[in-house]
Amino acid sequence: MQRRRVISQVSLAVGLVGPGAVGKALLEQLRVAIPKLQREGINLEVRSILNANQMLLAKEQATLDLSNWDEDLIAKGSDASLGVMTEHLKASDAPHRVIIDCTPSAVVPRFYPKWMEQGIHVVTPNKRLNSGPFAAYSAVKSLQASGAAHYMYEGTVGAGLPIISTLKNMLDTGDDAFSGTLAGTLSYIFNTLKPSDKFSEVVWGARRRGYTEPDLNEDLGGVDSTRKITTLARECGMQLEMGDVQTESLIPASMGGPANLQQFMAELAKGDEDWSRRLQEVEDAGEVIRFIGSYDAESGVCQVGPRRILRSHPLASLTGTEIMVSFTTARYSSPSLVIRGPGAGPAVTASGVFGDIIRLARYLGAHS
């Protein structure tokens, strides 16, 4: 007689901060997947959604209706308060609680230690904590190591690609990561750009498609890529700050201080002819330009910026929003271990966050 397998049920009360492009995509993925996950023993109760001004809390019902949460947020939402949201989540009957930070905010990560000290897990694609002041990063990692709560952040590097989890696995099994190379979030721009194109128009195209950060300075200044390299280097044990990374900006020095988007694009367009000449020179030499970040564990040097590479180089074959990370280690040296795939866009970033939520449920006892 065949025994029926008993599926252990794991319930998580979920609070989402930042229902912007990535957060909205994640909520839609959750809406579709929750019924299937329940059959697999994972019960996700979305108890709160909070943006900069308003929040929506599940009160009478166990979970919010994800089919029209955006309308409910406007019609039924109250003033946003991370403190009130936290207490509401703690009051849930679910045995486990997780807050998902889908913002690019530097403020929200300040709450991570407080949440984790209260046993609330944190899942995020927000790069600020992992690349911010080392002391704050170290404090959260210490809380994680103590077993206070899980802290998961696959989506901070490479959107939905398994870059951090792969690196962790290599380090955990005693394979020191020797070097890594990352074509950052500017992949689309340099994978698309040709001498006949206007640099500013390609940048604007990337923005219209939702590939850039909300603040273009993050991308074109190399800040976003520097955050990713800092995160990877810290995973390898480096105690460095972002300022230790040698970063070359694409923003003209003449641009000066902060500007609104229209002014920014107008200033950027002034360099279109220079970029066309530069790209023609590179093409005539049988090369391409890619925006590359690298970390060498032996020397400890981290670099980010545009680099000329031969057309035969693996990075030269990238298209669209593809990125490629190459790990060269004691076990993976000839050839290196390569991870390649789409590295920008709300849907793929949300899928990386969703993957962390599922892994969290497995850690908490859900059937794998």
> d(Cα 290, Cα 306) in Å, to the nearest integer?
6
Q: Which two tokens stand for residue 83?
A: 């403190």
Biggest CA–CA distance in the chain, Å, is 78
Q: Is 21 annotated as a binding residue?
A: yes
Q: Is 329 annotated as a binding residue?
A: no
Q: Is 127 annotated as a binding residue?
A: yes
Q: Does residue 148 contact residue 119 with C-beta atoms inside 8 Å? A: yes
Query: Amino acid identity, residue 21?
Result: A
Query: Which H or E run contains 29?
Result: helix 21-39
* CA-CA-CA-CA dihedral for 64, 70, 71, 76, to nearest 10: 60
Q: Is 194 annotated as a binding residue?
A: no
Q: Is 71 annotated as a binding residue?
A: no
> d(Cα 259, Cα 278) in Å, to the nearest integer?
26
Q: Does residue 202 contact residue 265 with C-beta atoms inside 8 Å? A: no
| Distance from the Cα of residue 253 to its chain's centroid | 28
Q: Which of 24, 90, 194, 228 is catalytic?
A: 228
Handedness of CA 227, 233, 235, 238 (dihedral sign): negative
228 is catalytic: yes
Handedness of CA 146, 149, 150, 153 (dihedral sign): negative
Of 207, 160, 180, nearest to 300 by C-alpha is: 180
Q: Is 103 annotated as a binding residue?
A: yes
Q: Does residue 304 contact residue 293 with C-beta atoms inside 8 Å? A: yes
Q: Is 213 annotated as a binding residue?
A: yes
Q: Is 18 annotated as a binding residue?
A: yes
Which residues participate in the annotated binding site for NADP(+)?
Answer: 18-23
Catalytic machinery residues = 228
Which residues participate in the annotated binding site?
Answer: 18-23, 103, 127, 213
Which residues participate in the annotated binding site for NADPH?
Answer: 103, 127
